[in-house]
Structure formats: structure tokens, C-alpha cells
Amino acid sequence: GQNIDQPTEMTATEGAIVQINCTYQTSGFNGLFWYQQHAGEAPTFLSYNVLDGLEEKGRFSSFLSRSKGYSYLLLKELQMKDSASYLCAVSHKLIFGAGTRLAVHP
């Protein structure tokens, strides 16, 4: 079977750092994606990890450990516009986790 777990909600303060975790158990794996989705809009691509380690892209970084079935998305220097849902998704068939709703407060 396939199972992807991530926290339902998180809150953080503007300017802070937040880490959103994702654990997965899937029968097939071709990499892990992180997407951002604002309410009422389609998801937008943030990052992709296929090998273990950290991928950094500006304020966002994503980490993957295949042996542990674990990934996290790290958001630095949080801005109000970062308030959104963050979805981790596992390829092969791109099954999505339930998403983490992040609320950034001033």
C-alpha cells in the first residue's frame, strides 16, 4: 500500500524558520516532490529530491532520506505570503500527502 504522513497544521512567525516533515511508505519510488498550494488555487512546484541529501533553492530547502522514508521542507525567513498548504508527493504515481497548512503570523 501507499501512505504519506505530514502534520495537518503548523504556525510560525514572520522571519522565522519552519520545518515541515513528511514520512512515506510506498511500493514504488522515483523521487519526492514538494508543492505549495494557496487556497483555491492549483499547486505550484517547489522542489524535487531523488537522492539522499539536501537540495537548496533560495529560501526553501528540501531533504530526503530514502532509507528512512523521510523528507522535510525547510522554509527560511518566513514571509506572510508563505501562508499556504504544503504538499509532499511521491512519484511514481505522484500520490499526495494530505498537506500541511502553514499559517505565518506577524
Among 12, 87, 102, 104, binds another protein (CB under 8 A): 87
Q: SS in 3 state form for the chain? A: CCEEECCCEEEEECCCCEEEEEEEECCCCCCEEEEEECCCCCCEEEEEECCCEEEEECCEEEEEECCCCEEEEEECCCCHHHCEEEEEEECCCCEECCCEEEEEEC
Establish if 69 lies at the interface with another protein (CB under 8 A): no
Q: Is 76 helix (H, G, I), strand (E, B) or coil?
A: coil
Site map for another protein, 7-46, x if CB under 8 A? Answer: -----------------------xx-x------xxxxxx-
**How near is the Cβ of 38 to another protein at its closest, in Å?**
11
Instruction: For residues 44 and 24, give the distance between their C-alpha atoms in angstroms, rounded to a whole number.
Output: 21
CB nearer to another protein: give 41 or 52. 41
**Taking the complex as a whole, how short is the minimal distance between the CB of residue 103 and another protein, in angstroms?**
13
Is 103 a binding residue for another protein by CB under 8 A? The answer is: no
Binding site for another protein (CB under 8 A): 30-31, 33, 40-45, 48, 50, 87, 91-99, 101
